[in-house]
């Protein structure tokens, strides 16, 4: 296959993409990379000022952007997000469920409220966003692509104090697989990207929670903990994986969880004396 063919498969010109949790971090990077690849992008999060900054960057690329303040734990907000997108663009081609958070708390002190918050934000929201999008695609008799954002923590616990988050993200992995099997005949692809340690605002907040400098935490979260590549990932590196799974280059891939973790699941790289 020639380079021009690959470029066409990864071209999102004329496509409309919704990205939740798009105000900062990985979500913002995903939104901007879709715009860079030609898409018009709807960004959703709770803080409008953050969304407006992302829309300004999208429009500076010559693409259309739309900010829709959204609390994805509320189904009425999800319905409003979809309707606002349809009112502006008339269609949706890709949904990226990125909204999520991992508040830290000793498991012995986790309350029912803490548990419900984690499950609502990290799992329930993904399900009902998928459901709303699947209903519209089904009524229109057209396919589409969903990419859920999970976490390395869904497979292996790395950070302490995030057990409800880990349980919720494990649910996102299974949700991805079940929906992919349920909707394959409709032409609706459902895949998942599971980031490892990534250099975002959330990581800096975790460092503060530990009471240590961000650089020291990032070393702990990469070299000391055992990421084979010896460094954290960047938000853009997560975004590249999302774009691939949402593109025509992934035409025979559904129900998969792609770990973008620098080899964290492998553990520390072997250091063998050169011969």
**C-alpha dist (Å) from residue 91 to 43, 60, 140, 184, 191:** 15, 22, 10, 20, 20
191 SS3 class:
strand
User: Nearest 5°: CA angle at 60, between 59 and 63?
Assistant: 40
**C-alpha span between 97 and 12 (Å, rounded):** 18
Q: How far is it, in rounded angstroms, from Cα 38 to Cα 8?
A: 11
Distance CA 15, CA 40 (A): 6
Q: Is 146 helix (H, G, I), strand (E, B) or coil?
A: strand
Exposure pattern of 107-139 as b/e (b: 16+ CB <10 Å)?
A: eeeeeeebeebbbbbbbbbbbbbbebbbebbee
Contact 238, 196 (CB under 8 A): no
Active site residue 240: no
Return the SS3 of 42.
strand
Residue-wise DSSP of 233-260: B-HHHHHHHHHHHHSGGGTT--S-EEEE
Q: Are 42 and 66 in contact (CB under 8 A)?
A: yes
Catalytic residue (one of 117, 165, 185, 252):
165
Tell me if 27 sits within 8 A of 21, measured CB to CB: yes
SS3 (DSSP) at 18: strand
Catalytic positions are 165
């Amino acid at each position: 296959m020639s380079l021009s063919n690959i470029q066409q498969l990864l071209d999102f010109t004329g496509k409309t993409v919704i990205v939740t949790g798009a105000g900062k971090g990985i979500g913002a990077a995903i939104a901007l990379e879709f715009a860079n690849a030609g898409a018009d992008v709807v960004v959703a999060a709770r803080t409008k000022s953050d969304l407006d900054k992302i829309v300004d960057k999208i429009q500076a690329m010559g693409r259309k952007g739309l900010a829709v303040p959204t609390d994805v734990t509320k189904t009425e907000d999800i319905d409003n997000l979809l309707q606002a997108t349809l009112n502006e663009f008339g269609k949706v081609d890709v949904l990226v469920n990125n909204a999520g958070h991992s508040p830290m708390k000793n498991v012995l002190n986790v309350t029912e409220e803490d548990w419900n918050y984690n499950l609502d934000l990290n799992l329930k929201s993904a399900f009902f966003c998928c459901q709303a999008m699947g209903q519209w695609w089904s009524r229109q008799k057209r396919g589409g692509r969903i990419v859920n954002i999970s976490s390395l923590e869904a497979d292996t616990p790395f950070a302490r104090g995030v057990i409800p988050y880990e349980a919720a993200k494990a649910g996102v992995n299974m949700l991805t697989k079940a929906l992919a099997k349920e909707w394959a005949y409709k032409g609706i692809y459902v895949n998942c990207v599971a980031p490892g340690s990534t250099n975002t605002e959330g990581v800096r907040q975790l460092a503060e929670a530990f009471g240590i400098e961000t650089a020291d935490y990032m070393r702990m979260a990469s070299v000391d903990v055992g990421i084979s590549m010896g460094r954290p990932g960047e938000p853009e590196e997560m975004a590249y994986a999302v774009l691939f799974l949402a593109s025509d280059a992934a035409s025979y891939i559904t129900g998969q969880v792609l770990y973008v973790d620098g080899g964290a699941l492998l553990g520390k790289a072997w250091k063998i004396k050169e011969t």
